[in-house]
Amino acid sequence: MIVVTGATGTVGGHVARLLSAHHPTRVLGRSRGRLREAAPGADAVGADFADRRSLERALDGARALFVVTTDPSRPDHDENLLAAARTAGVEHVVKLSALAVTDEGATDLITAWQRENEERVRACGLAWTILRPRSFMSNTLSWAESIRASGAVLTPQPHSRNASVDPRDVAEAAVVALTAPGHGQRHYALTGPEPISPAEQCEHLAEVLARPVRCCEIPLERAYLSWARRYPEPIAQALLDSARRQGEGAKQHVDPAVEKLLGRPARSYRDWAKDHAERFG
Ligand SMILES: NC(=O)c1ccc[n+]([C@@H]2O[C@H](COP(=O)([O-])OP(=O)(O)OC[C@H]3O[C@@H](n4cnc5c(N)ncnc54)[C@H](OP(=O)(O)O)[C@@H]3O)[C@@H](O)[C@H]2O)c1
């Protein structure tokens, strides 16, 4: 039995659907209804990262665990998952981290939290695999409303490049790590096939949608104010630091791990855009 967390979210959802087609799979989360909708082929169990006992029950009989957590103010979530995994006799933990942990200049809250999460995983006494993706291509879904409404994207640093990765490739890499031998005590840097800028992403979207998509630059300070309206201040600050690093070229490196793990090239942004065109109206 393989247990998947985050199955109502982006990467965990793909992982659960891929796994459940071939392996006994359980999805763990706060709403069984949402889990059943997201991963109909998996066994859905209610549990909360804040409640260790609920995690122990959900992990009963599990051989492997896929860990996705999202709240940098809650280090107890990863601690609880690892403690419950040990109690339940889980053999292998695959952890979704972030490639920023390898950037020396990355000292923001989210990256520091992921570094600590990785430390916990490496020290947990179980077999582990740490996946370190670059930014998800699906982050550009946040442009969909503005593209539908005005055919325009407002973004800071439109010509800064990021080797962003298709979350479906991240999920396929997770499935390999969870099911095939030889991936214990390994870190994998997961990137797309090339660094790409917001302006270039808009060009691909325009081609796929067969209508213009303008890419309009806004100052970083304005982007920060919009993040600060949506997120707590430390998260908005972390996003600002991250955007600055992208502007300095820190996120352009392409790693061959996706191709080596999956035996085919990483999906391009154009592939992603074609497959999600309907989301942009
Ligand atoms: N976005 C990027 O560009 C990027 C890049 C690199 C790394 N990452 C890393 O990727 C991870 C996020 O992955 P994602 O985008 O696939 O996640 P996501 O779509 O935001 O989904 C988060 C999942 O966590 C579940 N969850 C949240 N709190 C929970 C709790 N207390 N108990 C049980 N389940 C809980 C949610 O379930 P419910 O809400 O349904 O309960 C949901 O399924 C983060 O660790 C992030 O640092 C992201």
Phi, psi of 128 (to 5 degrees): -145, 155
Does the CB atom of residue 50 touch ligand 1 within 6 A?
A: yes
Cβ–Cβ under 8 Å, residues 16 and 38:
yes
The dihedrals phi and psi of 253, each to the nearest 5 degrees, come to -65, 135
Per-residue pLDDT tens over the stretch 160-199: 999 999 999 999 999 999 999 999 999 999 999 999 999 9
Is the shortest distance between the CB of 139 and ligand 1 below 6 Å?
yes
In CATH, what class is 2-134+166-191+253-266? alpha beta
Residue 159 has pLDDT above 90, yes or no: yes
pTM higher than the cut 0.95: yes
Amino acid at residue number 15: V
Centre of ligand 1 to C-alpha 77, Å, is 12
Residue 68 alpha carbon to ligand 1 centre in Å: 6
The label of the residue with tokens 């006994």 reads 24
| Dihedral angle over CA of 31, 87, 117, 238, nearest 10 | 20
For residues 34 and 115, give the distance between their C-alpha atoms in angstroms, rounded to a whole number. 30
Q: Is the pLDDT of residue 226 over 90?
A: yes
Measured distance CA(259)–CA(190) in Å, rounded: 9
Cα–Cα distance list, 10 to 108, 197, 263 (Å): 23, 22, 23
Does 73 sit in the ligand 1 pocket, CB within 6 Å? no
Q: Tell me, what's the pLDDT at 281?
A: 86
| Centre of ligand 1 from the C-alpha of residue 161, in Å | 24
CB-CB contact of 183 with 158 (8 Å): no
The per-residue pLDDT for range 27-83, each reduced to its tens digit, is 999 999 999 999 999 999 999 999 999 999 999 999 999 999 999 999 999 999 999
- Structural domain spans, the chain: 2-134+166-191+253-266
Sign for the pseudo-dihedral over CA of 277, 165, 240, 246: negative
Q: Nearest-CA neighbor of 100 among 242, 234, 257?
A: 242
